[in-house]
Amino acid sequence: MEYFIQQLINGLTLGSIYGLVAIGYTMVYGIIGMINFAHGDIFMLGGFAALIVFLIATSFFAGIPVALLLLLMLLVGMLMTGLWNWTIERVAYRPLRGSFRLAPLITAIGMSIVLSNFIQVTQGPRNKPIPPMVTDVFHLGAITVSLKQVLIVVITAVLLFAFWYIVNKTPLGRAQRATEQDRKMAALLGVDVDRTISITFIMGAALAAVAGGMYLMYYGVASFNDGFIPGVKAFTAAVLGGIGSLPGAVLGGLLIGLIESLWSAYFSIAYKDVATFAILAFVLIFKPTGILGRPEVEKV
Amino acid sequence: MTASTETGHPNVLAKAVREGLFAGVISFFMFLLFVGIETYQDINNALVWRTRWGLLAIFVAVAAVGRFLTVGFIKPHLDQRKLAKAKSGVLEISESKSFFHRHFLKIALIFLVLYPFLSLMIVGKQGSLKYVDNFGIQILIYVMLAWGLNIVVGLAGLLDLGYVAFYAVGAYSYALLSSYFGFSFWLLLPMSGILAALWGVILGFPVLRLRGDYLAIVTLAFGEIIRLVLINWTDVTKGTFGISGIAKASFFGIWSFDTGTANNFVRAWGLSASSVYYKVFLFYIILALCMLTAYVTIQLRRMPIGRAWEALREDEIACRSLGINTVTTKLTAFATGAMFGGFAGAFFATRQGFVSPESFVFLESAVILAIVVLGGMGSLTGIAIAAMVMVGGTEVLREMSFLKVVFGPDFTPELYRMLLFGLAMIIVMLFKPRGFVGSREPTAFLKERRAVSGSFTKEGHG
């Protein structure tokens, strides 16, 4: 039983990270209907920004408090990836909006290749380890919970609440939902569609950056090809929860995290990714709209 | 706007300066951390950093000047050209074609057949190894894969992001069956194709109901599952170590290319020992396989099944209401596409003599799909050109040792291969969203056959 709960906690931590990245996928898909393939690499960029901030901050201010350091890492990462995703949308996706369907998908795949190779070229192909930042652990009976796990879950919960508030209660969120439902109509009613889409990309990137920073804190290592596998898993999470739905993305993320850690704990660690992908295939085949997604009706 | 582009452009220039400065500021912040700072491990293996302000300045300058030139000169020029074209009222498709244009296919085919001899004549045996193998065979493999995928994506309109799975099935079928049972290449080539087609049906069956992006992501998942199984099923596939020592193809069982055998090709013909003969032979095999793919594609387009694929691509609902069985239509598309992937895989295994899961990553699927889309979906010529430009271009980069003189001895052009590939993908899509050959030759027509501009065709959502 303790072992099970232990795995549950691990899965929850991992799932929070996937959930944060999944929101970026689901928001972009919801609003312009494209799979932003480069989103996983934005997550990786966020991790790298956090890594570089960590190195600079620790070399200038040796005794910087961990909380301040972490805040700095995440904030700079958010700004950085927000800027990148804004630029990427402007340069590679916006000119192709309204073009034929595969064009933005291809530029997104191209962008993903460019981003990971850009980091490989500028920062080197080796794994980048950092010394552990948060080392405290709590013991509850036989169960061990580390402070970084608590941090990840708490930060995720806070961000989700903030996001839920923005999307549901603010004029910006209203504009986003309107654009999602009908872009042309929203534009006619005075919503600045371009600006709304840009902001959506920035928001998604900021969440991915937080996820990237926490991923770095959790595993203590960053690499240029960190974007692909977590990216695909996060996309799986978004689809599993029902693409276009924010709570769905989080739910999907948590489910993927749980499946992954329980599968590695009880079955085989080698096939954990196979399990994730197989579940994705099954869900899509039997319930193509995901758990919380709205069914898409095609009209002639 | 139009007034300013036609007169002395003071507004355009001012705008260009403004946009250039803006791009400079944005790129400064974008590259500040990733280019301006370099992280590396010191002697104690601890991660440290140093600044690279010079490189950052170059990046910012390139972004600013590039944006300035685009807004100030390139864009007004392009706009004017488009305007002039619209004024003259001549559509590109109705222009009469030059001799080269009309006989392009014949010329290209003759060139390909003569290519190994030309390269032997010009650069000799040792030099030809590079030109026949790295350029000829490498490009033709991608041409074949892209033509195979074209059946699924270009004709049937089913977006497949896991095509590399069938390539892997073909390669491993040949590698395993030849090393465990010792079957020959010529027996296993069709068998690999059949096995891959079978997998096409197996993987195609569950995704029949899916369309568009969902289909893309499930095929991606299938591709990854097959790769992960290849990695983890170590008893059979030897995992990440891969299978080495795969048998070479023989000259239809008459002569062997293994050195030391009695019926060795080189000895039988009394030639001096060189591996170039085998490479030339392989070149002709893959050329023949490519021609087979093209022939089948062209023939199928004239047959009911090919018409059904194209109908499915244009509109699935209309297709169904006309009584076309979409299940068999989709499955045959998957199976046919997969079969050619399997052929290419078997060829790849015999050419390399070694297969490992490393060769079948998602990136390969993305590259193949990119070639199909960049070439203009459905156009065989366009796809072949795209494969030549994209794959050949990245191979050329390996050869550019003179760049070392410009950028210093540490410069390795290979490192930039995929970076440039990705950039090329984006740039080609931005300027030609329909690919190199955007026009379509309809299979069914009223009085005369005429190319249709890509802007008039529609992609289905299947």
- Taking only the tens place, the pLDDT of each residue in B299-318 is 888 888 888 888 888 788 88
Min mean pLDDT across B248-252, B368-372, B392-396 is at B248-252
Which among A83, A111, A298 has the least Cβ separation from residue B29?
A83
Which among B214, B377, B430 has the least Cβ separation from residue A284?
B214
Q: How far apart are CA A247 and CA A241, in angstroms?
A: 8
Q: Are A18 and A237 in contact (CB under 8 A)?
A: yes
A129 inside domain: yes
User: Cβ-count burial of A250 within 10 angstroms (0-12 exposed, 13-18 middle, 19+ buried)?
Assistant: buried
Residue B92, pLDDT > 60, answer no
Phi first, then psi, for residue A145 (nearest 5°) are -120, 125
Eight-class DSSP state of A143: E
Residue B101, pLDDT > 80, answer no
β-strands B47-51, A143-146: how paired? unpaired
Residue type, B114: L
- Residue in chain A closest to B462 (alpha carbons) equals A101
- C-alpha Rg value of chain A to the nearest Å: 19
Which among A109, A121, A268 has the least Cβ separation from residue B419?
A121
A294 inside domain: no
Residue B2, pLDDT > 60, answer no
Greatest mean pLDDT among A58-62, A117-121, B84-88: A117-121
CB A278 to CB B421 under 8 A? no
Residue type, B427: I
Looking at residue B260, its pLDDT comes to 65
How would residue B442 be classed by pLDDT, with cut points 50, 70 and 90? low
Q: 3-class DSSP state for residue A140?
A: strand
Greatest mean pLDDT among A112-121, B228-237, B373-382, B436-445: A112-121
A176 inside domain: yes
Question: Which residues sit opposite B428 in a β-bridge?
Answer: none
Which of B215, B228, B428 should be substituted to probe chain A, the one whose Cβ sees the most A Cβ atoms within 10 Å?
A: B228
pLDDT average, residue stretch B269-297: 82
Looking at residue A272, its pLDDT comes to 82
A157 inside domain: yes
CB B418 to CB A45 under 8 A? no
Q: 3-class DSSP state for residue B52?
A: coil
A255 inside domain: no
CB B47 to CB A130 under 8 A? yes
> How many beta-carbon contacts under 8 Å exist across A and B?
178
Contacts of A281 in chain B (CB under 8 A): 206-207, 218, 221-222, 225
Q: How far apart are CA B441 and CA B422, in angstroms?
A: 29
Which among B47, B216, B362 has the least Cβ separation from residue A129?
B47
Output the pTM of the full model: 0.86
How would residue B94 be classed by pLDDT, with cut points 50, 70 and 90? very low
Q: What percent of chain B has pLDDT over 70?
A: 81
Q: How far apart are CA B223 and CA A278, in angstroms?
A: 11
A189 inside domain: yes
A262 inside domain: no
Domains of chain B and any CATH numbers:
2-86 (no CATH), 111-456 (1.10.3470)
Residue B41, pLDDT > 70, answer yes
Better-scored residue on pLDDT, B201 or A144: B201
Structural domains of chain A, count = 1
Better-scored residue on pLDDT, B47 or B189: B189
Contacts of A121 in chain B (CB under 8 A): 415-416, 419
- Phi/psi region, residue B258 (left: phi>0; alpha: psi -120 to 50; beta: rest), is beta
Which of B32, B34, B67 should be substituted to probe chain A, the one whose Cβ sees the most A Cβ atoms within 10 Å?
A: B34
b/e for B179-209, b at 16 or more Cβ within 10 A? Answer: beeeeebeebbebbbbbbbebbeebbeebee
- What is the distance in angstroms between the CA of the first residue and the CA of the last residue of chain B? 41
C-alpha dist (Å) from residue B348 to A212, B47, B286: 38, 41, 9
Three-point CA angle A213, A214, A217, nearest 5°:
95
C-alpha dist (Å) from residue B389 to B143, B286, B370: 11, 18, 12
C-alpha dist (Å) from residue A290 to A27, A293, B225, B324: 15, 5, 20, 29
β-strands A221-222, B37-41: how paired? unpaired
CA dihedral of B395, B398, B400, B405, whole degrees rounded to 10: 160
Which of B75, B419, B457 should be substituted to probe chain A, the one whose Cβ sees the most A Cβ atoms within 10 Å?
A: B419
Which residues lie below 8 Å from residue A246, measured CB to CB, with a gap of 6+? Answer: A23, A26, A27, A163, A164, A167
C-alpha dist (Å) from residue B372 to A60, A125, A275, B207: 51, 30, 31, 22
Looking at residue B78, its pLDDT comes to 83
Q: How far apart are CA A242 and CA A239, in angstroms?
A: 5
The parent domain of residue A124 ranges over 2-225
Which of A73, A81, A114 should be substituted to probe chain B, the one whose Cβ sees the most B Cβ atoms within 10 Å?
A: A114
Helices (H), A89-146: 102-123
Contacts of B221 in chain A (CB under 8 A): 236, 277-278, 280-281
Better-scored residue on pLDDT, B328 or A280: B328
- Residue in chain A closest to B457 (alpha carbons) equals A100
How would residue B1 be classed by pLDDT, with cut points 50, 70 and 90? very low
Contacts of B37 in chain A (CB under 8 A): 52, 55-56
State the nearest Cα–Cα gap between A110 and chain B, in angstroms. 4
State the nearest Cα–Cα gap between B291 and chain A, in angstroms. 27
Closest CA relative to residue A276, chosen from B217, B366, B202 = B217
Min mean pLDDT across A82-96, A147-161, B266-280 is at B266-280
Looking at residue B42, its pLDDT comes to 78
CA dihedral of B95, B100, B106, B111, whole degrees rounded to 10: -150
Contacts of B67 in chain A (CB under 8 A): none
State the nearest Cα–Cα gap between B460 and chain A, in angstroms. 9
- Residue in chain B closest to A240 (alpha carbons) equals B214
β-strands A221-222, A128-129: how paired? antiparallel
State the nearest Cα–Cα gap between B290 and chain A, in angstroms. 25
Looking at residue B336, its pLDDT comes to 92
b/e for B417-431, b at 16 or more Cβ within 10 A? Answer: bbbbbbbbbbebbbe
In a 13 Å sphere around the CA of B12, the CA atoms on its Cβ side amount to 19
Three-point CA angle B344, B348, B349, nearest 5°:
120
- Residue in chain B closest to A52 (alpha carbons) equals B33
A279 inside domain: no
pLDDT average, residue stretch A202-230: 90
Closest CA relative to residue A296, chosen from A24, A20, A19, A29 = A29
Q: How far apart are CA B356 and CA B297, in angstroms?
A: 30
**What pLDDT digit, counting tens, does each position of B379-414 carry?**
888 888 888 888 888 878 777 666 666 666 666 777
Helix (H) or strand (E) segment spanning residue B288: helix B276-302
ipTM of the complex: 0.86
Q: C-alpha B301: how far from its chain's center?
A: 22
Residue A95, pLDDT > 90, answer no
CB A277 to CB B362 under 8 A? no
Looking at residue A86, its pLDDT comes to 93
CB B225 to CB A83 under 8 A? no
Contacts of A52 in chain B (CB under 8 A): 33-34, 37, 39, 49
CB B218 to CB A100 under 8 A? no
Better-scored residue on pLDDT, A21 or B235: A21
Helices (H), A170-268: 171-181, 183-188, 193-219, 228-241, 246-266
Q: C-alpha A13: how far from its chain's center?
A: 13
Looking at residue B91, its pLDDT comes to 54
Residue A46, pLDDT > 90, answer yes
Looking at residue A226, its pLDDT comes to 84
